[in-house]
Homo-oligomer: A and B are copies of this chain.
Amino acid sequence: MRVLAVGAHPDDLELLAGGTLARFGADGHDVTMCHVASGNRGSYHATAAEIAATRLAEARTAAAEIGALHATLGIPDCEVNASDPVQRRLAVDLVRRHRPDLVLTHSPGDYMADHNETSRLLFDASFFASVPLFETTEEPYGVVPALYYLDTINGLGFLPTEYVDISTVLEVKTRMLAAHASQLEWLREHDGVDVLADMRTAAAYRGLQCGVRFAEGFTACLTSLRVRTHRLLP
């Protein structure tokens, strides 16, 4: 199976689906991790160019932990916009290039605009990629892939309907997230949070809900052409 996971910023995927992606990788599936926004505005110290470069390197390190391909759309932070035709084309090409069976992206009701726009951007693009006369760099991809939504940040407003047991890969997930050294530092300053500890708490809580040590939660986007009669998550 080909899995395309798309987060707003570097580290979002690691935080919300790192364990699931690690399991996909371990099971031999082709995994691509993409961040839409470059992370270029999340720093008190570095310039935008510096922080974007740092975070790209960190994201590649994280993806490499599980043998995933890495991609980025390179949109500046705070500018993800699903209504923008240029971004739509970038996203359509992303889908067409990777031809996923399954797309993972943010929930449409998360805590800030880049997440919510990323959600809509991928919902839209993963359909448009199939339209033959929507011409972009890449060839049309005739399948409308299944689409799953990631948990929200800290789970607010989110009730998972499917859970993935990540107990055996929590340390992999931890390494993936720890690869984002600059972001861990930034979130400590900007939001006052210890990302690694909080991730562990969230994974343990989602685990409580489904009777395993550590888990991640998701919901399926159930619209026409996207529903499947078998489980797609590990």
Contact = CB atoms under 8 A, between A and B. Distances in A.
A65 interface: no
Interface string A37-70: 0001111100110010000000000000000000
A51 to B, nearest CB: 7
Interface string A64-88: 0000000000000111010111001
B209 A224 contact: yes
Contacts of A152: 223-224
Q: How large is the interface on A (under 10, 10 to 19, 20 to 34, 35 or more residues)?
A: 35 or more
A149 interface: no
B209 A133 contact: no
Nearest to A191: B225
A211 B225 contact: yes
Contacts of A210: 227-229
Contact of A156 (B42, B134, B190, B224): B224
A109 B226 CA distance: 14
Nearest to A79: B85
Interface in A158-175: 159, 161, 163-165
